[in-house]
Structure 1
Amino acid sequence: MISSWRRRRAGRRAAKDQGRGENGDSELTIPTHFRCSISLDLMKDPVTLSTGITYDRESIETWIEAGNKTCPISNQALKSLEPIPNHAIRKMIQDWCVDNQSYGIERIPTPRIPVSSVVVAEILSEITMASKRGDQEVCLQLVAKIKALWKESERNKRCIMANNTGSLLSAAFETFAKASFNRNDAVLEEILSALALLFPLDGEAMSCLGSAASLHCMVRFLKGGDLSGRRNAVLALKEILSSDERKVNALSEIEGSLEALVKLIKEPICPSSTKASLMAIYHVVNSSFPKETIVERFVEMGLVSLLLEMLVDAERSICEKALGILDGICRSEKGREKPYDHALTIPVLVKKILRVSDLATEFSVSIIWELCKNEKREEGGVLVLEALQVGAFQKLLLLLQVGCAERTKEKATELLKLLNLHRDRLECIDSMDFKDLKRPF
């Protein structure tokens, strides 16, 4: 008798056609008609094509999705691209697995039949009708069914995506949002959680989600929803603002909307919600028609200090988004007041040059350029001296040598000229060494 460990090892070999029996001599061979003709592995979900040849579902669907419309073995044209489950072969394979348990072969589970486009279309039609008549319970059940099907398999995901699900769910969301006097938060949260699986959405869906009623609903979730509701709401807002900057004013006019976005950064739920909130704020600050009052509101909320402290040890994605927001804020006269007074501003920005990514470098140079260019002369060029002290001159010289975008090159050149005027006033130190700075932070 071989040990249990050797039995498990034998089983693994058997699955690869190399397993051995108890006597150590006999070799277990997978019957040829149990193998997929494409992968040559034991079929887990055998399906038959219109040509009568059976394959494993995963293998043949990969073949069909690649654009092939013929049978791999016979090369005959397929009358239908929808494979039919072969229950007889599957039952035989399962019986064979059970008979060979001693070799370590595990019984293949009965596969779930993938959802069809017809079934998905029927569910979506019922959701649309339920939303029009205001039937929350039915709509809840149907949306939950869509989510369950989505989680079952990659094929289901593709089928759901191909049936205009995002647009129909967005329309249902808008319908229930308009009836806000009924406080349909349960059904709205369920629809929004389903939509979060489908991002990015098309223009029709974005139009529904960007309506006044939908925006008010999502801001309500941001301000007082549960963790899941707040996460899904900010993900949706990020998508809306990135697809249509005209929604910036509509969002900013909703009471508490900007405060709710900042709160998600102050009190993070998860990395995805933090990044989504940063992106939403980025689109607000950098829209083509931002209001000065919007920037002032963000500054009053303490956003500048929050971003600077976040930048000290932020990972790449968050760092780029935070710098992008600061760049937008510093284009405003009111927005520059707080960075001028914050001790971390120049040291952190100089540190990020050539350390994170090209995008982070461009933002950092742009912010330093905005601050130094607009610094009041009566202040004696404090920021210029500080930038020089923490190694900005060397960093900018290196940046010009390694290359960068033309606009960034222009700003770096202007900064170098400005810094060069003060090089005789103090000794430059390495940008990584902040211990000699007199300003506490």
Structure 2
Amino acid sequence: MVLGWRRRKNNNHKGVKQNVEVVVPNHFMCPISLDMMKDPVTLSTGITYDRENVEKWFEVENCTCPVTDQIVKNFDMIPNHSLRIMIQDWCVENKQHGVERIPTPRIPISRFDVAELVIQVKASARGLDQHGCLELVHKMKKLCNEMDRNKMCIVENGAPGALASAFDTFANDSIERNVSVLEDILSALNLMFPLKLDAKIFLGSKASLTCMVWFLKHQDLSGKEKSVVTLKELLSFGDEKHVEALSEIEGVCELLVEFINKRISPIITKASMRVVWYLVSSSSHCSDKMKLTFVELGLVSSLLDILIESEKSLCEKALAIFDTLCSIEQGREKGYSNYLTVPLLVKKILRVSALATNHSISSIWKMCKLGEKDDEKRVLVEALEAGAFQKILLVLQVGCGDEIKEKATELLKLMNPYRAELVECIDSNYKNLKRSF
């Protein structure tokens, strides 16, 4: 079999050109890709493949050996060091023909190695052994960063749960005394998202949540990022107990609003907005209390500020939170008092994404239907003047979900009586309008 390696040599003395074809031995070729193997491994069926190719074969739910078609009961892949050395020697021998030597591959960690690491992490946490736990955490982080196979093996064999348990143990003992190991554990967990249930149970404890909020207050930028991203991951699981526990920690709402206002890093800003959304949109009994708290902290004005000039992801998050805050009277009042509210909501319809359009229409609908009659009229008139009628009509024509379709249809009916009195526009630029905040 001939590979595409071909080196053309110039003979200056004879003035002729010579083509050299490099023939790769068949037993160096992977039976799946028919390319030369870089990391040959042998299955229980006795057939050798390139590790990357055979892993992809099994990832798509194949359970047979590609060559023999036998059912593979043991998926362990044994490195074929002898064959790999032969391939490397052959590459060196053919270096003058343009063949590059394949590097010696790193051997991936096994599930047995991970099991041993998990046992050691749990033992060091029980003994509050900071030094020992730090060494193990550093080893896990290094293995995760070396290759995706290591990361997958570590995640699937219980390491996140063990690390989260250790985090809870050290946080229960003392945050200040164990701050170094706690921060490193949180950093390692950030490499292992999405987390499984066992890890989230430990991270949702009062001690763990208090520790992460402490990091938001006292740690540097990196520590703040790791903490708020972990909180976002934890609340994404949808457990109302975690929402309630976080909402009870003093100062957390003020910190989140501060991060949104200051925008000290894109990661912190986006994660903070997602955490806020989980807090205000949950079905727990603390949801309305959270909405009121964030309204009183001035979040409505902050969200409108974000809507003026921000990229898609931030706009979507800001609109989602604003839509939720419009469910309470105090949130709507803040919206009514800002002259940019309705024009900005109309502007985002069909300009950002389908999700942003849905939240914009829903917010306008809530400000009309859930407010006083005078507020309803003012919102409808402002929306008409900003070109909402044509935009909402187009949304219905393009297609949308049943809930938004119902709200959009009702808004058109409410707007229709005022259309004859007004001059409607199609779209506007609101950058030069005076802000009320």
- Per the normalisation by structure 1, the TM-score is 0.89
Counterparts of 1:288-437 in structure 2, within 5 Å, are 288=283, 289-377=285-373, 381-434=377-430
Asked whether the 8 Å contact 2:216–2:255 carries over to 1, the reply is yes
| Cα 1:177–1:155 shift into 2, 3 Å | same
* 1:271 corresponding residue in structure 2: 266
| Cα 1:390–1:246 shift into 2, 3 Å | same
Task: Give the counterpart letter for 2:300 in structure 1.
Answer: V
* 1:123 corresponding residue in structure 2: 117
The Cα shift of 1:236 comes to 1.5
More displaced 10-residue stretch of structure 1: 291-300 or 200-209: 291-300
* 2:4 corresponding residue in structure 1: 16
* 2:254 corresponding residue in structure 1: 259
* 1:216 corresponding residue in structure 2: 210
In structure 2, what is the Cα distance between the partners aligned to 1:257 and 1:392?
Answer: 37
Asked whether the 8 Å contact 2:204–2:242 carries over to 1, the reply is yes
Asked whether the 8 Å contact 2:386–2:424 carries over to 1, the reply is yes
Deviations along 1:418-437, one digit per CA (max 9) or x if unpaired, are 22232233211122355997
The Cα shift of 1:340 comes to 1.1
* 1:87 corresponding residue in structure 2: 81
* 1:132 corresponding residue in structure 2: 126
In structure 1, what is the Cα distance between the partners aligned to 2:62 and 2:159?
Answer: 26
Counterparts of 1:55-94 in structure 2, within 5 Å, are 55-78=49-72, 80-94=74-88
Task: Give the counterpart letter for 2:271 in structure 1.
Answer: A
3-state SS, counterpart of residue 191 of structure 2? helix
Task: Choose from 145, 152, 168 the match for 2:146.
Answer: 152
The Cα shift of 1:141 comes to 0.9
Task: Give the counterpart letter for 1:282 in structure 2.
Answer: W
Asked whether the 8 Å contact 1:17–1:30 carries over to 2, the reply is no
In structure 2, what is the Cα distance between the partners aligned to 1:384 and 1:437?
Answer: 19
Task: Give the counterpart letter for 1:25 in structure 2.
Answer: N
The Cα shift of 1:239 comes to 2.2
3-state SS, counterpart of residue 81 of structure 1? coil
Deviations along 1:275-300, one digit per CA (max 9) or x if unpaired, are 22111101111122345443233223
| Cα 1:418–1:64 shift into 2, 3 Å | closer
Asked whether the 8 Å contact 2:273–2:318 carries over to 1, the reply is yes
* 2:14 corresponding residue in structure 1: none
In structure 2, what is the Cα distance between the partners aligned to 1:130 and 1:438?
Answer: 59
The Cα shift of 1:51 comes to 3.9
| Cα 1:37–1:18 shift into 2, 3 Å | farther
The Cα shift of 1:365 comes to 1.0
* Percent of paired sites with the same residue: 53
Task: Choose from 19, 25, 28 the match for 1:31.
Answer: 25
The Cα shift of 1:189 comes to 1.1
In structure 2, what is the Cα distance between the partners aligned to 1:94 and 1:413?
Answer: 70
3-state SS, counterpart of residue 421 of structure 1? helix
Matching of residue 240 in structure 1 with residue 228 in structure 2: no
* 1:192 corresponding residue in structure 2: 186
Asked whether the 8 Å contact 1:351–1:432 carries over to 2, the reply is yes
The Cα shift of 1:199 comes to 1.7
In structure 2, what is the Cα distance between the partners aligned to 1:124 and 1:106?
Answer: 39
In structure 2, what is the Cα distance between the partners aligned to 1:218 and 1:53?
Answer: 50
The Cα shift of 1:338 comes to 1.6
Moved over 6 A (4+): 435-441
Asked whether the 8 Å contact 1:21–1:27 carries over to 2, the reply is no
The Cα shift of 1:35 comes to 1.8
Aligned length in residues: 428
Q: Select the structure that is richer in strand.
A: 2
Deviations along 1:108-150, one digit per CA (max 9) or x if unpaired, are 1111111000001101110000001000111111011111111
The Cα shift of 1:393 comes to 1.5
In structure 1, what is the Cα distance between the partners aligned to 2:352 and 2:223?
Answer: 32
In structure 1, what is the Cα distance between the partners aligned to 2:129 and 2:294?
Answer: 40
In structure 2, what is the Cα distance between the partners aligned to 1:292 and 1:356?
Answer: 28
Task: Give the counterpart letter for 1:63 in structure 2.
Answer: W
The Cα shift of 1:242 comes to 2.5
Task: Give the counterpart letter for 1:274 in structure 2.
Answer: T
- Per the normalisation by structure 2, the TM-score is 0.90
The Cα shift of 1:59 comes to 1.6
* 2:13 corresponding residue in structure 1: none
Asked whether the 8 Å contact 2:133–2:181 carries over to 1, the reply is yes
Task: Give the counterpart letter for 2:295 in structure 1.
Answer: V
Q: What is the RMSD computed on CA atoms of the aligned residues?
A: 2.5
In structure 2, what is the Cα distance between the partners aligned to 1:246 and 1:215?
Answer: 12
